[in-house]
Structure 1
Amino acid sequence: MLELEAVSKTYRLGAFGTREVTAVRDVDLTVERGEVVSLIGESGSGKTTIGRMVLGLAAPTKGQIRFDGVPVTGRRGRALKGYHRQVQGVFQDPFSTFNPVFKADRVFALVRDGFFPDVPTTRWRERVEAALHGVRLEPADVLDKYPHQLSGGQLQRMLIARALLLDIRLLVADEIISMLDASTRIDVLNLLGELKAAGLAVLFVTHDLALGTYISDRTVILRAGEVVEAGPTQEVFADPRHEYTRNLLAAVPHLHSRWDEPVK
């Protein structure tokens, strides 16, 4: 469904663009229907840049990104809008997505204005409530509330509900649970698991190996913009081939040991 082929992204820096920094280099990646692929790497590894390119928010310098065999790069106007009816993103900080002067459910009104202007108000309200129930939120608890009146987990699930209103096929989830508490993280991960079972594909961007292990079918490890290891998640974590992957796994805290005790 989604295919990245030899994708690179180079940024020009400096007042006259004389300095170049390569954020992503020759990345190959696929995501199929009903599959969760974790994109794992430390800060600055290029994870978010890849997510932005998949969403059409940035163009690759080289390579191709295709969705159902059709290039993503270069889509404009109606073609890009049609793409965004199938592919949406949810990002790390839910609070930054919402305008604090508007009620949180304005995100649904924007979807209606942009994609479903002819849907009657009553029908639209029913669709919004159904989407909220789909992410285990009670409409009465979140509708007509300001962002500061809701928790990060509620806001994040509202953003997922917004994406579901478009009947999307691929969700780019960029560090969507890193700012949530532990119990809410599990709720959101389980929700993604349910959506996966219903056929939704997820590109799960994270720096947390434990979270990637919990949810993904396949794992891609990035270092400095390059893929250093990729494969079925259980194989990558059970028998890592690259030294960087082994170092990442060795750095994961062990619940049965204190920090000042050797890991057994």
Structure 2
Amino acid sequence: MIEQGILLRIENVTKIFRIGGRITGSKLVAVSNANIEMEGSKPEIFALAGESGSGKTTLARMILGLIEPSSGRIIFKGRDINTLKNRKDKLWFKREVQPIFQNPFEAFNPLKKVESYLFETAKNLLLLKTKDEVLENISQAVKAVGMSLEEIKDRYPSEFSGGQLQRLSIARALVAKPSLLIADEPVSMVDASLRMSILNLFRNLNKDHGVSIIYITHDLATAYYVSDRIAIMFRGVIVELGPVDEVLSKPYHPYTQLLLESIPKPDPDRKWERRIKLSDMEVKEYSLVGCKFVTRCPYAKEICKKKEPPFVHVEKGRSVKCFLYSNGTIKISEEV
């Protein structure tokens, strides 16, 4: 039974991809037993952070309903999104959950006027009939991102800067009046000077318009600045979850500590300089029976190689997937 007031619940969600042929190929667990809950009564910005291959984008695509989980359930406002089959239910979900993609220039056809996307969204998702209704809706969405209809009228994507175009992609999403935005690396393709304006826009949308946001990033500094809570992912596994200021100032999981080595104290003006390239990853880490981080962890024990660690609630609102905390005590946080 789903409790009232829960906006999104991700229950033991796993996604497995097959690599290669049926006989000689192998399986890649892109997301493993993910569990996240967001309340509807308290709109928040929730960050999914991790490097390339951590599974954060795969999880986002499942939340958007673009791919189905191999197992587990994604519940949005009390409804399993993978059971929404008829047109009416699918239209409802598209209105409620809107994506914002990484590259704003790829979100718009260069030969199509930007305003046409906003009009199409208003007509197709909200089913608005009159021109006045459409214009009023679009005007509100554009105003929410700090622009006006006059600024965008009869203009093509190439006539806007990257920052302006990303704002317009957000406006396009807002036209549908969503409850949840899924923003996948939304500032990584924007000039550094414009990143803060986009992040501040997210904060305003959350605070003033009551929109919940899942913010997906590899940049811990921006996650720290804009988010309320954060989940750290490694090889498809959520290894740590909690309030962003606590997780990034006092990390418990050894992997989170590794990520923070280059930024001893989170600072929104500094980038996460250390990055683990996809070419450096060990594919075998995805299929390890025990902890995915065992081959790199300075605290690894024999049990870590044989058994998957439990997800332990170590403090109010904080959880970590590690045997170091399996008895509920904090053992290494003072060494960070």
Same fold flag (TM > 0.5): yes
The answer to whether the 8 Å contact 1:31/1:202 transfers is no
- Picking from 72, 75, 79, the partner of 2:84 is 75
CA deviation string 1:167-191 (max 9, x = no partner): 1111111100111112211111111
What residue in structure 1 maps to residue 98 of structure 2?
88
Q: Are 1:51 and 2:60 matched, yes or no?
A: yes
Of stretches 154-163 and 89-98 in structure 1, the one that deviates more from structure 2 is 154-163
CA deviation string 1:15-74 (max 9, x = no partner): 448432111001111222311111000011111111111011110001111012211113
User: Compared with structure 1, are the counterparts of its residues 139 and 233 closer, same or farther at alpha carbon in structure 2 (3 Å cutoff)?
Assistant: same
Determine the C-alpha separation between the residues in 1 that align with 2:58 and 2:155.
Answer: 32
What residue in structure 2 maps to residue 21 of structure 1?
28
Runs of 4+ in 1 over 6 A off after TM superposition: 253-256
User: Match for 1:246: what amino acid?
Assistant: Q
What residue in structure 1 maps to residue 168 of structure 2?
158
Determine the C-alpha separation between the residues in 1 that align with 2:159 and 2:71.
Answer: 44
Give the TM-score, by structure 1 length. Answer: 0.91
Q: Are 1:230 and 2:236 matched, yes or no?
A: no
Higher relative contact order (CA 8 A, sep 6+): 1
The answer to whether the 8 Å contact 2:17/2:27 transfers is yes
User: Aligned pair count?
Assistant: 257
What residue in structure 2 maps to residue 104 of structure 1?
114
Q: Are 1:241 and 2:247 matched, yes or no?
A: no
The answer to whether the 8 Å contact 1:31/1:203 transfers is no
User: Compared with structure 1, are the counterparts of its residues 235 and 117 closer, same or farther at alpha carbon in structure 2 (3 Å cutoff)?
Assistant: closer
Percent of paired sites with the same residue = 39
Determine the C-alpha separation between the residues in 1 that align with 2:197 and 2:158.
Answer: 20
What residue in structure 2 maps to residue 209 of structure 1?
220
Determine the C-alpha separation between the residues in 2 that align with 1:115 and 1:24.
Answer: 30
Deviation, structure 1 residue 112: 2.9
Determine the C-alpha separation between the residues in 2 that align with 1:228 and 1:74.
Answer: 29
What is the RMSD of the two structures over their aligned residues, measured on CA atoms?
A: 1.9
CA deviation string 1:151-176 (max 9, x = no partner): 11111111111121111111111100
The answer to whether the 8 Å contact 1:142/1:154 transfers is no
- The unaligned stretches of length 5 or more in structure 2 are 1-6, 274-336
User: Compared with structure 1, are the counterparts of its residues 239 and 49 closer, same or farther at alpha carbon in structure 2 (3 Å cutoff)?
Assistant: same
User: Match for 2:19: what amino acid?
Assistant: L
Q: Are 1:8 and 2:17 matched, yes or no?
A: no
User: Match for 2:163: what amino acid?
Assistant: G
- The unaligned stretches of length 5 or more in structure 1 are 260-264
User: Match for 1:11: what amino acid?
Assistant: F
